[in-house]
Amino acid sequence: MKLINTAEAAVSLGVSERRVRQLITEEKLKAQKVGRDYAIQEGDLKLVVARKPGRPPKAQSAQTTTSEAAIARNGRPGRKKVGKK
């Protein structure tokens, strides 16, 4: 198999070199340290190609529900409706 460096892997994956190094650190991409850089087998890129891009969606929390209720009640989050005197 052909060995590539982090720059070539980044181009192949469509991400930054920093993200490639992060994938290596998180052990989602296999690599061997060679001097200051990493050597990655081209076939190992398949391990991360199938991943979903971006961040996973946040789970709804009680705080979000409370904020949504406040908006519905008052029109703005975090403020109480004040009546005229």
User: Strands (DSSP E) along 5-60, which ranges?
Assistant: 32-34, 37-41
What is the CATH code for 1-51? 1.10.1660.10
Please tell me the distance from the alpha carbon of residue 57 to that of residue 64, in angstroms, as a whole number.
14
Model pLDDT for residues 49-81, shown as the tens digit of each residue:
777 667 778 877 655 566 676 666 666 666 666
Burial of 76: CB neighbours in 10 Å, binned 0-12, 13-18, 19+: exposed
Q: Please state the domain extents for the chain.
A: 1-51
Q: Are 67 and 53 in contact (CB under 8 A)?
A: no
Model pLDDT for residues 14-43, shown as the tens digit of each residue:
899 999 999 999 999 999 999 999 999 999
Q: State yes or no: pLDDT of 2 exceeds 70.
A: yes
State both tokens at 83: 């009546």
